[in-house]
A and B are shown apart, each in its own frame.
Chain A
Amino acid sequence: MPSNLLALLPEIILTIFGVLVMLAEAMLPPKRSRKPLGWLAIFGAMFAGIAANVQLQHIHAVGVFTGFYGTVQVDTFSIFFHWLIAGIVIVVLLASLDYFEGPVTHAGEYYALALFGATGMMLMTCSVELLMVFIGLEISSISTYILAGFRKGQATASESSLKYFLLGSFATAFFLYGIALCFGATGSTHISTIAARIGTTSAPLLGILAVAMVLIGLGFKVSLAPFHVWTPDVYQGAPSPVVALMSTAPKAAAFAVLLRFLFNGTPALRPHWILLIEILAVLSMTIGNLGALLQQNVKRLLAYSSIAHAGYLLVAFTSFHEDAVSGALFYSVAYAAMNIGALLVLTQISGYEEQATTIDDFTGLALKRPGMSALLGFFLLSLIGIPFTGGFFGKFYAFSAAVHGGHVWLAIVGLANSGVACFYYLRLLAALYSRPLTDSRDYILSPRLTFPVAAALAFAGLATLILGVAPGRVLNMVQHATPGIIAAPAEQPAASSFPATPPATNR
């Protein structure tokens, strides 16, 4: 197989399946169930994961390889993110099968858009050329803009979509401007060339400005404070499974770009950008948590919590060591597992109509849906960072990277923040388990726990548990995904001992 084709094999597969879903959607009679399309999309994502595996075999054989004139680089780092994104898409789509049955008439679009979005995200993680990254970012963003407004006919959905679109395009403009400045400073938009030249450039200020601009653009995508204002509104208006998708996969991809750009592309400017990272991390953690304290709506609460979690993840960036990268990667896996889990439980409880939205609506849920509340409780505990859950080890690795890098104060700020954070998670958790204030609410909106939803929830729950009890396997994997990022680009990553198959936690 030509290496060009192989380098983008997962993306190509996803695109083909996305087009197939759209064609099939047009051909299916209007009244027919759209579930087969969903399954088609799920298989597409699975094949993409397998394609990433094929790439890994090729790496084992010939080492890291590039395609399309060196703009796309397949290494263990990109493969890790391909698996993560494919896994997220599979789990979310599994849970969406029943959600989009019935009241929705255009469910096929949803599945296709999810696949197209994933294509863009995967492209972001394997591009080493900033313009290519930009293309990936646009593909993924445009899909998520549409997905955010998917509950057509509702005012909040339109608000969500429009807000996301306007602010998002503004942010991508910043990103593009950053690329232009980078080109101005170094004469190239290729990350390895930037790395070689940015330390010796005749216009260092230009380079610093470029990094700042790129940080703003990506900071918006991962909802770092102060670029977070869109998050609560968009999450509130978007359908819950879409929130599960857009709060994890695009963020993981954006963090991947950030890691490549900062650690691989501009390590020479580290003394400058480290300050920005510190500021962004502290602001995100603090604003996210303080904002969440005031929320009554559970989705808005999780939106603010996702801002805070982006801040926790950023704490890992302060160390220039392999620890930092592996900590960040581990955190993105753990965060994906627990956040998707929590949002899928919300989806299952409140249904398409979203009747249970505020904390009060969830009061006494444990009496009526004990299994669901136990699961939600587990995910909330993981978000708090209680030991023996994935969230704990995520925080642990991120903060120990910071301590290792000599930023003890940042770890203290972070952990004090997680103390504040446990207050609002607990408010929800205590509500679940206290006796109901009023007995009038019925949680029979989607009483049937169908197999795909159960499978999705089991995946998320098991992943969170395994990451918390036996993180060794995933840790091993993230550690083998780091060398290509932190060291000089010429160095060969230690791909030989990279595990050959993705563990269950990654799906």
Chain B
Amino acid sequence: MNFDHTILTLILLTPLVGAIVLALIPEREGAKTHHIGALVITLITLLLTLHLPWHYHYAAEPGSFQYEQNLPWISVPAIRYHLGVDGLSLWLTVLAGFLAPMGVLASWRTITSRTKLFFTLFLLQQVAMLGIFLSLDLFLYYGFWELSLVPLTLLIATFGRTENRRRAAIKFFLYAFIPSAIMLVGLLWLYVRTGTFDFPALQNLAASHSISPNTTALWLCSLSFLVAFAVKCPVFPLHGWLCDTITEAPTALAMVAAGKLGLYSILRFSFGIFPEQSRHIAPLLIALGAIGIVYGSLLALVQTDLKKLASFSLLGHVSFIILGIFTFTVSGVDGGTFQILNESLVGAAFFILLGLLYERYGTYDIRDYGGLAARHPWMVTMFVITALAGIGLPMLSGFVGEFLILSGTMQSIVAHHVVWAVVGTTGVIFSAAYMLWMIQRVFYGSIGHRPDEVHGWDLNAREHVELWAFAGLFLVMGLFSPVWMRAIDTYGTLTADKPTRFEPNTFRHIETETYEPTASRGFVDPTLGAAALGKQAPSANKGARY
């Protein structure tokens, strides 16, 4: 089918052309022209991205790319316009497509002036994000990666909430740009060594250990990549930009600011081009992930500002994913990838809900709220559903990812993996604590003084549509996770360490090393325990996971 070769370009072109068109339409005071235009464009993009899973060949050889488009762009250096999706990027692309119209809807009321600027930049951000997920040429990817910083920076500088906005914008840009600039050196070094920017080619070279015999240089190169990605995630000590950015960013951008881009890049490029280095550094990243979970959750617990609470909760959740993917077990990588989807959705829904509160009452301070449940029954329902999906209630989407990540951590061959699994589990408890406590303080008890002064309204039709879409997805993703896992697993099984590597000796080693075997094993599902303890056949392993 001819369409299949151009679909990815169409997905990129639609928002780009849309941005240009919106920039050319004159702006009128109070008119919704640009809102509607942006909504139409993002919906078309969403439909186009839905084409991908629909016609995806799930049975194709794992690791192969589909819907590929590979054209020469620049001859020297050899840069190609190479796009493609595999099991990893398939659903992330759809996710990006889905979040965009939601972002437009979330901005419907809040963005009233300078709409042209806002939606033009918003669509450019969309182009950059989709480009990151779809590019298979390292150079093209880097282009989109850097491009993704610009709209967000400008939008924070323009639409930031407080007087602090200019500082926050610059901080965000510097945090992301400086490591990316260093990454460019790594990229150039790779090119000089191998003569190609093509990701599949580099992956093959990496698999046959023929990138460079110089291990030190290879290490530095892998670190330059990893640090740039880790900042964008963010991983624990590199999260300095997160809080300011999230606090200042308008809802539609807070939804896309953190998490998936960095995590995807780690999964794709760090794991793909530097498999050995990534495995060597995994214990450090797992430790940082575990620290991030506790650190983020504890800080979220003590926040009085809702946006700050959300940003630290984001840090906790992203750290959770880091913990999962760096275990290099099938469940860990699969669960981590699935959790990127879930975390992005939960985060987005949460930011939208906070935005709704802010639209009505004009404050993010928890202390100003209280007793809203009686006034906004629908809203509190949505808050609770979102919170439960985030906490990981069984049957909702969060459970699948969290469970797989924790079981992956238990199966991992990394030293002290049981400790990390236990620490990870505390994250689940903490997130339940701060989310539910937040809901209690905002929605229950006596009426706070802000709702006393202003009378808000419950969800309107637009907000209902928006939030039910999220709630529906939480449920469907929780109940029918194999729909997503089918694609994700082709990536996970390929990337994770092969079960054949689990020699009995290795397992004995793990067994003797555990600290509190009874207490920590308590969490693990018995079927999975069996899989982890001895059944090395992939089929048995799979059965245990779903």
- Listed in ascending order, the chain A residues whose CB lies under 8 Å from chain B are 366-367, 370, 377, 381, 384-388, 392, 396, 399-400, 403-404, 408, 411-412, 415-416, 418-420, 422-423, 426-427, 429-431, 433-435, 470-472, 475, 479
Can you sample 21 A-B contacts with CB below 8 Å? A366-B158, A370-B117, A386-B147, A387-B143, A387-B144, A387-B147, A388-B143, A399-B185, A408-B189, A412-B185, A419-B174, A419-B181, A423-B170, A426-B153, A426-B174, A429-B153, A429-B157, A430-B169, A430-B170, A434-B157, A472-B73
CB of B154 closer than 8 Å to a CB of A: yes
* A416, B180: Cα distance in complex, Å: 9
| Chain A residues within 8 Å of B173, by CB | 422, 426
* A433 and B157 contact, Cβ closer than 8 Å, known pairs A386-B146, A418-B181, A426-B169: yes
| Chain A residues within 8 Å of B73, by CB | 472
Minimum CB–CB distance for B163 against chain A, Å: 9
Tell me the residues in window 51-109 of chain B with beta carbons closer than 8 Å to chain A beta carbons.
73-77
* A470, B142: Cα distance in complex, Å: 16
In the complex, the answer to whether B182 meets A416 with C-beta atoms within 8 Å is yes
In the complex, the answer to whether B188 meets A412 with C-beta atoms within 8 Å is no
* A430, B248: Cα distance in complex, Å: 14
Question: B75, B146, B185 — which one has the most chain A CB atoms within 10 A of its CB?
Answer: B185
In the complex, the answer to whether A386 meets B150 with C-beta atoms within 8 Å is yes
* A400, B76: Cα distance in complex, Å: 11
CB of B450 closer than 8 Å to a CB of A: no
In the complex, the answer to whether A422 meets B177 with C-beta atoms within 8 Å is yes
| Chain A residues within 8 Å of B182, by CB | 412, 415-416, 419
* A37, B495: Cα distance in complex, Å: 69
In the complex, the answer to whether A403 meets B185 with C-beta atoms within 8 Å is yes
* A411 and B117 contact, Cβ closer than 8 Å, known pairs A416-B182, A430-B169: no
* A429, B151: Cα distance in complex, Å: 12
In the complex, the answer to whether A433 meets B185 with C-beta atoms within 8 Å is no
Minimum CB–CB distance for A238 against chain B, Å: 29
* A47, B486: Cα distance in complex, Å: 66
A-B pairs with CB below 8 Å: how many? 97
CB of B166 closer than 8 Å to a CB of A: yes
Q: Which 9 A-B residue pairings sit nearest by Cβ, starting from the closest?
A: A387-B143, A419-B178, A415-B181, A430-B157, A433-B158, A403-B188, A419-B181, A430-B166, A433-B157
In the complex, the answer to whether B154 meets A423 with C-beta atoms within 8 Å is no
In the complex, the answer to whether B188 meets A471 with C-beta atoms within 8 Å is no
| Chain A residues within 8 Å of B177, by CB | 384, 419, 422
CB of B111 closer than 8 Å to a CB of A: no
Question: A412, A422, A431, A433 — which one has the most chain B CB atoms within 10 A of its CB?
Answer: A433
| Chain B residues within 8 Å of A385, by CB | 181
* A434 and B165 contact, Cβ closer than 8 Å, known pairs A366-B117, A388-B143, A427-B170: yes
| Chain B residues within 8 Å of A370, by CB | 117
In the complex, the answer to whether B170 meets A426 with C-beta atoms within 8 Å is yes
In the complex, the answer to whether B154 meets A433 with C-beta atoms within 8 Å is yes
* A178, B75: Cα distance in complex, Å: 40
The residue in chain A whose Cβ has the minimal distance to the Cβ of B179 is A419
| Chain A residues within 8 Å of B117, by CB | 366, 370, 433
Minimum CB–CB distance for A377 against chain B, Å: 7
CB of B184 closer than 8 Å to a CB of A: yes
The residue in chain A whose Cβ has the minimal distance to the Cβ of B154 is A433
CB of B191 closer than 8 Å to a CB of A: yes
The residue in chain A whose Cβ has the minimal distance to the Cβ of B77 is A400
In the complex, the answer to whether B74 meets A403 with C-beta atoms within 8 Å is no
In the complex, the answer to whether B192 meets A400 with C-beta atoms within 8 Å is yes
Q: Please give 7 more A-B residue pairs, beta carbons under 8 A apart, in addition to A408-B217, A411-B185, A472-B73.
A: A415-B185, A418-B181, A422-B177, A423-B174, A426-B170, A426-B174, A431-B166
In the complex, the answer to whether B75 meets A387 with C-beta atoms within 8 Å is no
| Chain B residues within 8 Å of A420, by CB | 178
In the complex, the answer to whether B188 meets A400 with C-beta atoms within 8 Å is yes
| Chain A residues within 8 Å of B217, by CB | 408
In the complex, the answer to whether B185 meets A408 with C-beta atoms within 8 Å is yes
In the complex, the answer to whether B181 meets A429 with C-beta atoms within 8 Å is no
Interface size for B (C-beta < 8 A) is: 36
The residue in chain B whose Cβ has the minimal distance to the Cβ of A471 is B74
| Chain A residues within 8 Å of B191, by CB | 400
* A431, B170: Cα distance in complex, Å: 10
In the complex, the answer to whether A399 meets B157 with C-beta atoms within 8 Å is no
- Listed in ascending order, the chain B residues whose CB lies under 8 Å from chain A are 73-77, 114, 117, 142-144, 146-147, 149-150, 153-154, 157-158, 160, 165-166, 169-170, 173-174, 177-178, 181-182, 184-185, 188-189, 191-192, 217
| Chain B residues within 8 Å of A475, by CB | 74-76
Minimum CB–CB distance for A344 against chain B, Å: 21
* A415, B174: Cα distance in complex, Å: 13
Which among A367, A416, A433, A472 is the interface contact of B181 at CB below 8 angstroms?
A416
In the complex, the answer to whether B146 meets A472 with C-beta atoms within 8 Å is no
Question: B178, B184, B191 — which one has the most chain A CB atoms within 10 A of its CB?
Answer: B184
| Chain B residues within 8 Å of A470, by CB | 74
Question: A367, A408, A418, A479 — which one has the most chain B CB atoms within 10 A of its CB?
Answer: A408
Minimum CB–CB distance for A434 against chain B, Å: 5
The residue in chain A whose Cβ has the minimal distance to the Cβ of B157 is A430
| Chain B residues within 8 Å of A427, by CB | 170
Which among A387, A404, A433 is the interface contact of B142 at CB below 8 angstroms?
A387
| Chain A residues within 8 Å of B146, by CB | 386-387, 392
| Chain B residues within 8 Å of A422, by CB | 173-174, 177-178
* A151, B43: Cα distance in complex, Å: 55
The residue in chain A whose Cβ has the minimal distance to the Cβ of B141 is A387
Minimum CB–CB distance for A380 against chain B, Å: 10
| Chain B residues within 8 Å of A419, by CB | 174, 177-178, 181-182
* A431, B114: Cα distance in complex, Å: 16
The residue in chain B whose Cβ has the minimal distance to the Cβ of A417 is B181
* A74, B153: Cα distance in complex, Å: 47
| Chain B residues within 8 Å of A377, by CB | 154
| Chain A residues within 8 Å of B150, by CB | 381, 386
In the complex, the answer to whether B158 meets A434 with C-beta atoms within 8 Å is yes
* A408, B74: Cα distance in complex, Å: 23
* A202, B189: Cα distance in complex, Å: 40
| Chain A residues within 8 Å of B144, by CB | 387
| Chain B residues within 8 Å of A392, by CB | 143, 146
| Chain B residues within 8 Å of A429, by CB | 153-154, 157
Question: B74, B144, B160 — which one has the most chain A CB atoms within 10 A of its CB?
Answer: B74
Minimum CB–CB distance for B145 against chain A, Å: 8
Which among A404, A423, A472 is the interface contact of B74 at CB below 8 angstroms?
A472
* A408, B188: Cα distance in complex, Å: 9
Minimum CB–CB distance for B138 against chain A, Å: 12
| Chain A residues within 8 Å of B188, by CB | 396, 399-400, 403, 411
| Chain A residues within 8 Å of B153, by CB | 426, 429-430
Minimum CB–CB distance for A436 against chain B, Å: 12
The residue in chain B whose Cβ has the minimal distance to the Cβ of A399 is B188
* A367, B114: Cα distance in complex, Å: 8
| Chain B residues within 8 Å of A415, by CB | 181-182, 184-185
Minimum CB–CB distance for A83 against chain B, Å: 21
Question: B166, B170, B174 — which one has the most chain A CB atoms within 10 A of its CB?
Answer: B166
* A411, B192: Cα distance in complex, Å: 13
* A446, B216: Cα distance in complex, Å: 57
| Chain B residues within 8 Å of A403, by CB | 185, 188-189, 192
| Chain A residues within 8 Å of B77, by CB | 400
* A419, B160: Cα distance in complex, Å: 23
| Chain A residues within 8 Å of B143, by CB | 387-388, 392
* A176, B114: Cα distance in complex, Å: 58
Minimum CB–CB distance for B261 against chain A, Å: 15
In the complex, the answer to whether B147 meets A388 with C-beta atoms within 8 Å is yes
* A312, B266: Cα distance in complex, Å: 30
* A423, B153: Cα distance in complex, Å: 12
* A404, B158: Cα distance in complex, Å: 41
* A416 and B166 contact, Cβ closer than 8 Å, known pairs A370-B117, A403-B189, A429-B157: no
| Chain B residues within 8 Å of A471, by CB | 74
| Chain A residues within 8 Å of B166, by CB | 430-431, 434
Question: A396, A399, A404, A415 — which one has the most chain B CB atoms within 10 A of its CB?
Answer: A415
* A408, B117: Cα distance in complex, Å: 40
